Structure 1
Amino acid sequence: MSGRPLHFIWIADCSGSMAGDKIQSLNTAIREAIPEMRGVAHSNPHARVLVRALKFSSGATWHVTQPVPIEQFQWQDLQAGGVTDMGKALLMVADELKMPPMDPRGLPPVLVLISDGYPTDDVNKGISAILDQPWGKKAVRIAIGIGHDVDNNVLQRFINHPEIQPLQAHNAEQLVNYIKWASTAVLQSSSSPAVTDAPTHSSSNLNIPVPAPTHNMPTDSDVW
């Protein structure tokens, strides 16, 4: 019998300011995280991990259009260019958190938002749309800010949890470490037996508690 579905969604900023080292590091980090995600999924057979990705710049589109089992998931590199229509992206994610297409017996989804700037559209509408969905409220929402110009207030509103703060990546190694953490530690927490044994319809609107990253973040001359 297959496990309960757990949707893991990357929401990636592909605006022009991400061009160069940032987008290359993002592609590398996600690609390197896939084998570790498979390992987590293999150790939690009661959860069926389904991955997809949405990209936003001038507008937003699904980069991986259908939920793909992690065992079959392959990453295609993102390209950067355009503005930062984060609000449109979050509206599209909110549509996918409705029932249907979400399975009422599923596990709380994991949403990982990655951005390096300020939204250029109505991001509050997108955040509200996610939080208006029961699966949006139950989702583990993680945000990774890249560089010094990111709007941390927006990322915090997306997370909407007093104990979880946006992660700050100021160089390629930090970004790789944070993405691997979001791909493994968060996924492990979300798919743990304690979660799968919980009632399907929980009255709590809090995210699943996740551990803080423990990496000692290096610094180097290539700072974003």
Structure 2
Amino acid sequence: MALNINDYGVPSVKPLPVFLLLDGSGSMSQNQKIDTLNKAVSEMLGKLAEDTVQYENSYLVTVIIFSGDQAEVVMQALPAGEANCKWRDIPTRGRTPLGSALTLTKKMLEDRDIIPSKSYRPTLILVSDGIPTDDWQQPLESLVTEGRSAKCDRMAVLIGKENADASSQVLKLFIGDMPHKVEKAETAGQLLDFFQRATMTVTTRTHSVNPNQIVPMTAAGAGIDGDDIMFF
């Protein structure tokens, strides 16, 4: 039998999906919160793109903005390099429809045409500065307890101090039994630091022997540029 070289192709790299659920509500326009968030996301996408090139890892980036009356998918399962090139700063408007964002996230995670079965365990990162303004309890319960989405790694950061106790409880429910805590960003530097550590946590998994194993987020850094801007 003749040898067909096409039968021996190089195996494709398994992707690690990363979902960013970002609060774009009106309150995020205060005290440079949205400016700092946009900078943090841009830096994260740049680092993931660099890691893809340098180490031949693969990430599928989805960005969901929740603001106004409902959430919106602005990037859906894009390779990190493409996501980095297409990223544009998000604006702010209206309310905080977190439930809508969780519903969209759940729908995409369960769709194998969007998130392939060969993918590593996805990472979900939730960023918010306030209390949800829509029905969020049932979508959250479904996300963290049912189907493929229940197996995701989940991180969260609370921006500012307004309604901090109530908002923190929502984010704790989102994290659930993951080996992380609700991070708090009361300054620009703390938010940038959170995203740097979240990025490191994601890339650490792809560099490990078992990328499906969840690793705790590294401890807070020593502070970075922008930590003088308060989010109160």
TM-score, scaled to structure 1? 0.86
Give 2:168's aligned residue.
152
Of structures 1 and 2, the one scoring higher in RCO (CA 8 A, sep 6+) is 1
Q: Label 1:35 to 1:157 Cα distance change in 2 as closer, same or farther (>3 A).
A: same
Alignment partner, residue 211 of structure 1 = 217
Contact 2:157 2:184 in 1 (8 A): yes
Contact 1:110–1:190, Cα closer than 8 Å, also in 2:
no
Correspondence for 1:201? none
Per the TM alignment, residue 86 of structure 1 is displaced from its structure 2 partner at its CA by: 0.3
Q: What is the TM-score when the length of structure 2 is the normalising length?
A: 0.83
Is 1:104–2:112 an aligned residue pair?
no
**Out of 128, 136, 149, which is 2:141 matched to?**
128
Flag structure 1 segments of 5+ consecutive residues without an equivalent: 199-206
> Which residue identity does 1:220 align to in structure 2?
D
SS at match of 1:144: strand
Say if 1:86 and 1:121, in contact at 8 Å, map to a contact too.
Answer: yes
Pair 1:134–1:5, CA change in 2 (3 A): farther
Within 1, Cα distance between the matches of 2:197 and 2:33?
A: 18
* Amino acid in structure 1 at the alignment position of 2:63: A
- C-alpha offsets along residues 33-68 of structure 1, whole Å, 9 cap, x if unaligned? 2222223334543x421112000012111121x211
Q: Which aligned segments of 4 or more residues in structure 1 are displaced greater than 6 angstroms?
A: none
1:60 is paired with a residue of what secondary structure? strand
| Higher-helix-fraction structure | 2
> Take 2:187 and 2:107, find their aligned partners in 1: how far apart are those partners?
33
Q: Give, in angstroms, the shift of residue 108 of structure 1.
A: 0.5
Q: Which residue of 2 aligns with 1:137?
A: 150
Q: Is the 8 A contact 1:145 1:166 kept in 2?
A: yes
Rounded Cα–Cα distance in structure 1 between residues aligned with 2:117 and 2:187:
39
Q: Which AA in structure 2 matches 1:192?
A: H
1:5 aligns with 2:15: yes
Query: Which residue identity lines up with residue 4 of structure 1 in the other structure?
Result: K
- The CA distance in 2 between the partners of 1:86 and 1:208, in whole Å, is 24
Name structure 2 gaps, 5 residues minimum.
Answer: 1-10
Q: CA, structure 1 residues 42+187, in 2 after alignment: closer, same or farther (shift >3 Å)?
A: farther
- State the superposition RMSD in angstroms: 2.0
Contact kept in structure 2, 1:5 and 1:107, CA below 8 Å: yes
Indicate whether 1:82 and 2:94 are aligned. Answer: yes
Matches of 1:6 and 1:221, distance apart in 2: 33
Q: Percent identity?
A: 26
| Alpha carbons 2:161, 2:231 under 8 Å: kept | no
Query: Partner of 1:169 in structure 2?
Result: 185
Structure of greater Rg: 2
